[in-house]
Amino acid sequence: MTALQKLLLFVWVLPVFSFSETQKPVIYVLKKGQVSFHSNAKLELIKATSSDLKGILDAEARTFAFSVSIKSFDGFNSPLQKEHFNENYIESDKYPNATFIGHIIEEDDFTKDGTYNLRAKGKFSVHDIQQERILQGDITVKNGVLKLVCMFTVLLSEHEIKIPRIVHEKLAAEIDVTVTAEFVKQ
C-alpha cells in the first residue's frame, strides 16, 4: 500500500471513529476534476492539463486529500517537451504524484447551497518535496454538488526542481496552477 493510499484510508477511517453514533461524517468524492498549469517564460509558453485528479473531502472533519498523476499531463508544445518535463524536471518515474492533503480553515457550512471563499491549509507535495501551504479557493454548492476552483503558484526552487541554464529562458521559475473539481456526496 502506497503512502497516499494509506493517507486516503486514514482520511476515510479516522472521521468514522471520531464521531458519536448520531453524528456521521459527510463524505464527498471527486466526480470529475482537472489540474492545469502554465509556465510563461521569456521565450516560451508551456501549458499542460490533466483530468486524472483524485480527491476526497470530509465536510464534518473539514479534511481533504487530492492526488494527480504527473504522467497524466498532456497538451505540451511537443512530445519532446513532455518527455523533458517527465524525465529531466519532475522525474515522474521516481516521483509519480503531486498531492495536497490538509484541512479547511473556515467554519462555513459549505454543504448548504451558496458560494464560499475558503482557505485550506495542508501539505503540498511535488517532486517528493513537501511544503506547508495555505491555498484559497471558491466552492459553489448547488443541489448537493460542490464545485471548487483554486488558483495558486508553485515555485520550482521550493521543490528542488532544477532549471538547466541552457533552457532558463524557456521555463519560468514560477508555475501557475489551476484546479477545478466537482464533488458529489457519497
Structural domains in the chain, sorted by start:
3-13+27-185 (2.40.128.110)
Rounded to whole angstroms, how far apart are CA atoms 25 and 51?
27
Pairing of strands 145-155, 174-185: antiparallel
- The cell numbers describing 87, all together, are 524525465
The overall longest dimension of the chain from CA atoms, in Å, is: 62
- pLDDT tens-digit profile of 1-45? 555 554 444 444 444 444 444 567 889 999 999 999 999 999 999
- pLDDT tens-digit profile of 74-127? 999 999 999 999 998 999 999 999 999 999 999 988 778 999 999 999 999 999
Q: Does the structure show a pLDDT above 80 at 137? A: yes
Instruction: Provide, for the chain, the percentages of residues in helix, strand and coil under a 3-state DSSP scheme, each rounded to the nearest 5.
Output: 20, 50, 30
Q: Angle CA(62)–CA(124)–CA(48) in degrees, nearest 5?
A: 115
Do 97 and 67 meet the contact criterion of CB atoms below 8 Å apart? yes
Q: List phi, psi (to 5°) of 100.
A: -140, 120
Q: Angle CA(176)–CA(173)–CA(55) in degrees, nearest 5?
A: 40
Instruction: Give the closest residue to 144 by CA, choosing from 116, 182, 107.
Output: 182
